[in-house]
Amino acid sequence: MLKNPEKTKNDIVAWIREYFEANGPGCSAVIGISGGKDSSVTAALCAEALGRDRVIGVLMPNGVQSDIQDSQDLVAFLGIPNITVNIQAGVDGLSGAIQAQLEKGTLPGTTGLSRDSEINMPPRIRMSTLYAVAQSLANGGRVVNTCNRSEDYIGYSTKYGDAAGDFSPLANLLVHEVIQIGQVIGLPDKFTRKTPSDGLSGMSDEDKIGFTYEVLDHYVLTGQCEDEETRKKIDRMHRLNLHKLQLMPSFQLEH
């Protein structure tokens, strides 16, 4: 638990202001809104740091989104400008075009889109949408990354999808710490306590990864995990997904 969540909240707000002063004076923060704790807390932090008018919420359902009301309630609660962009046509168009080519069987061992491709395409299209909005603003925009330390530790994000962005206020906060910040900043529990889900697979995050964020946070902080199989799974996910947190490797030319 954060020893002083009020101070941490204030420090993050100050950090966001400093980022914009150095990297985009007058720019807006552009953030994808899911209605869950991460986007809600991040949007609230940006609103306090920059003012509500400089935080642009982008709602991006993929067709019909059953919990879209949560996103609408969040932008209304914060009073931030927002737009809704349904990405279904983009997802279906790109998926269909790729699928048609793969079905020809000209690539070895491939006859169609994999399940992982289907799951990861919408987050990548969402990130493209956020950058398109940011670059279309008269005063410019910087895209907010909403990943937290718990998700990053096990690679529970889409590379060049929700793992992308220009700045990341929550990257060093575990899930329970994000919730603390949400409480301090005055967000209703419906946003900070919403069952986390990627909105794509039809499963909750915890069901999908096979353990709770409470177990994960405890392990990250202490190195202790009561269940040996869970510990091994966390270690394996961390090891296999480290590439998502590292800069792209580049060949170093010697002169």
pLDDT digit of tens for each residue in the chain (255 aa)?
Answer: 899 999 999 999 999 999 999 999 999 999 999 989 999 999 999 999 999 999 999 999 999 998 899 999 999 999 999 999 999 999 999 999 999 999 988 898 888 999 999 999 999 999 999 999 999 999 999 999 999 999 999 999 999 999 999 999 999 999 999 999 999 999 999 999 877 665 555 667 888 899 999 999 999 999 999 999 999 999 999 999 999 999 999 999 998
CB atoms within 10 A of CB 50: 18
Return the DSSP state at 202: S
Between CA 226 and CA 244 the distance in angstroms is 27
Phi-psi category of 165—alpha, beta or left, where left has phi over 0 and alpha has psi -120 to 50? left
Q: d(Cα 240, Cα 156) in Å, to the nearest integer? A: 11
Considering only CA atoms, which of 89, 91, 72 is closest in space to residue 33?
A: 72
H/E element holding 40?
A: helix 37-50
pLDDT at residue number 199:
59
Please tell me what DSSP assigns to residue 7.
H
82 sits in which H/E element: strand 82-84
CA distances from 76 to 43, 69, 73, 79, 192 (A): 12, 10, 5, 5, 16
Give me the pLDDT at residue 193, please: 86
Token pair of 100 as six digits? 């048609």
Q: Compute the C-alpha angle 19/170/48, nearest 5°.
A: 60
Tokens 């949007």 found at:
43
Q: How many residues does the structure list for the chain?
A: 255
Q: Write a three-state SS string for 142-194.
A: EEECCCCHHHHHHCCCCCCCCCCCCECCCCCCCHHHHHHHHHHHCCCHHHHCC
Which helix or strand (DSSP H or E) is residue 231 part of? helix 228-240
Max Cα–Cα distance, the chain, nearest Å: 59
Tokens of 239: 């090891």
- Is 22 strand, coil or helix? helix
CB 154 within 8 A of CB 237: yes
Written as six digits, the tokens of 162 are 């929700």
Burial label for 85, CB within 10 Å (0-12, 13-18, 19+), is middle
Contacts of 189 (CB under 8 A, 6+ apart): none
Q: Is CATH 3.40.50.620 the classification given to domain 5-245?
A: yes
Beta bridge partners of 35: none
